[in-house]
A and B are shown apart, each in its own frame.
Chain A
């Protein structure tokens, strides 16, 4: 009796595992499918102008009839700078507000903060962009024209990233079992130490996941960036210079692009994905090496 019961439990386990493995496999396949799709669409451009031209050409002029140019470096730099700026601003803001919600504030305020963040997460990016254009850009313009700039992009994107980073961090902080806090309190350990020596290290994985998701969103964000960044293809000299990101370029030109131009746009998208995944992999390596030490 006991034997058969544990057997059926094992069978349940096996079925569950099969089902879950199927889900994981499907998720993985889906990704491959999308990457393959982008690659397939980009293939003509990867063959004809070739990847080297994307880096070596100095300007982006894919529709020129006599000598098309495919330089995407300034746009890649634009994407990188906007992402970097937004992640650097959003991470501390998100982290500290979550710590306050979790350890220093009343339950009501924490609840309120979570709902506000969830709400912010559901604001369509066109609304962020529109708000940036109507409110932020004129402010920056009064300070240093033309207003639509790298800075405007970073600020709007920061606002968009805060919910992703904060909510993911919050979830993993809340998953740390309460007993640990109680024991710490029983040992007379101060709250600062509890936060930085206990909670943050335990929830580190969730925080890193949140920051990476945020960074990925920043890299892929399109609509808001198109509206507030000014979209000039150039290497920015200052925060007040307009820039064009790769995603903005895709959004601006895809609706009008035909054959070769279209393939080139997909190729820039592919290169963007590869660059950002290299960074993610690099961050992972660094983390692992430090962990070993």
Chain B
């Protein structure tokens, strides 16, 4: 290695420098392009946004010529579904661009309120003060929340009471439920997550009561945690749990109070731990937003909704 470190210092050769200069020129060009395209295209995109309002508010017809750009932001749960709907909408209306952005339900609600986004995405019901500020929630689909354990766990079902006892620390050892003699590992969701709120509401719990051993964020985080720990119990979105279990991830969906957690039971309302997946608008939407919303709620979208593991709503 020492030999390779010979000294280039006294060279007066300018070739290397011209190489550097070439590099600098390229970078300057990139910079210039960034800012020029920024300046040049700015008025256009403004105009496009303004175009939204000009479109006739004819609702949901496919043969009308729609154009413009629509921005949706919000819940990371809904975003993959919204992307698929947007793609299909774009193929039917080639002049339309629908940009879906993620970042959380609160983000979607805030952006819809402030007008940063044309429509928001939320994976929970709107709160009272949000409705008072003029937000309207349009239900796109419905999602269930299911209790999951590791595939090695011998338990086959739980009652609501047992779930409450487990999560509040009244039962701390699996042997009390007929399992092995080892401590239960409770996997809870982070503060503010819609799944947490649904779970707490259904079982009449407060977050402070839960004696969590691990706190997770996203659904997949919860699933991987339970899959990697045979003593863990957690709760996640039902579609995610089922499709992962089908793929061979070592988790098992536990029926609570004897109700099988199928998406059919979610749709019929027999299974109660559910949350709505919403598209949120400020006031009643018009123009392009209205057309997209009607399209998203139409029965043609049901295959996309099921493909993402959710259940469609039938009005």
Q: Do A and B come together as binding partners? A: yes
Task: List A residues at the B interface (Cβ < 8 Å).
Answer: 61, 63, 101-103, 105, 107, 110, 130, 133-134, 137-138, 141, 145-148, 174, 176-179, 181-182, 226-227, 230-232, 242, 244, 251-258
| Of B3-11, B33-41, B304-312, the one with at least 4 CB within 8 A of chain A | B3-11
Chain A residues, Cβ within 8 Å of B1? 101-103, 105, 107, 110
Q: Can you sample 25 A-B contacts with CB below 8 Å?
A: A63-B192, A101-B1, A103-B2, A133-B221, A134-B224, A141-B228, A145-B185, A145-B213, A146-B232, A177-B5, A177-B7, A181-B5, A182-B2, A226-B221, A227-B221, A231-B216, A232-B215, A252-B190, A255-B76, A255-B103, A255-B105, A256-B104, A256-B192, A257-B106, A257-B192
Chain A residues, Cβ within 8 Å of B212? 232
* B214 contacts the other chain (CB 8 A): yes
Q: Report whether over half of chain A's contact residues are helix, strand or loop; otherwise say mixed.
A: helix
Is B4's CB under 8 angstroms from A107's CB?
yes
B220 closest partner in A (C-beta): A130
**A148-B214, A255-B103, A256-B191 known; 17 other A-B pairs, CB under 8 Å?**
A63-B191, A107-B1, A130-B224, A133-B224, A137-B225, A141-B229, A145-B182, A146-B213, A178-B2, A178-B7, A227-B221, A230-B213, A231-B216, A242-B213, A253-B191, A256-B193, A257-B192
- Within 8 Å by CB of A244, from B105, B185, B215, B229, lies B215
List the 4 shortest-distance A-B pairs measured between CB atoms, nearest first. Answer: A255-B104, A256-B192, A231-B215, A252-B190
The total number of A-B Cβ pairs within 8 Å is 101
- Within 8 Å by CB of B5, from A178, A230, A244, A255, lies A178
Is A242's CB under 8 angstroms from B191's CB?
no
Is A255's CB under 8 angstroms from B107's CB?
yes
Chain A residues, Cβ within 8 Å of B96? none
Band of interface residues on B = 35 or more
Chain B residues, Cβ within 8 Å of A134? 224, 228
Chain B residues, Cβ within 8 Å of A226? 217, 221
A101–B66 Cα gap in the complex (Å)? 62
Chain A residues, Cβ within 8 Å of B107? 255
Chain A residues, Cβ within 8 Å of B213? 145-146, 230, 232, 242
Is B231's CB under 8 angstroms from A145's CB?
yes
Is B191's CB under 8 angstroms from A178's CB?
no
Given contacts A63-B191, A103-B1, A107-B4, contact A252 B215 (CB under 8 A): yes
Chain A residues, Cβ within 8 Å of B228? 133-134, 137-138, 141, 147
Chain A residues, Cβ within 8 Å of B103? 255
* B183 contacts the other chain (CB 8 A): yes
Chain A residues, Cβ within 8 Å of B190? 231, 252-253
A251–B192 Cα gap in the complex (Å)? 12
Chain B residues, Cβ within 8 Å of A107? 1, 4
A130 closest partner in B (C-beta): B224
B106, B185, B191, B208 — most chain A CB neighbours (10 Å): B191
B75 closest partner in A (C-beta): A255
- The distance from the CB of B114 to the nearest CB of chain A, in whole angstroms, is 12
Given contacts A105-B1, A232-B213, contact A258 B110 (CB under 8 A): yes
- Within 8 Å by CB of B225, from A63, A133, A181, A182, lies A133
Chain A residues, Cβ within 8 Å of B224? 130, 133-134
Is A146's CB under 8 angstroms from B106's CB?
no
- The distance from the CB of A126 to the nearest CB of chain B, in whole angstroms, is 10
Is A138's CB under 8 angstroms from B214's CB?
no
> What is the 8 Å Cβ interface bit string for chain B, positions 199-218, against chain A (1 contact, 0 not)?
00000000010001111110
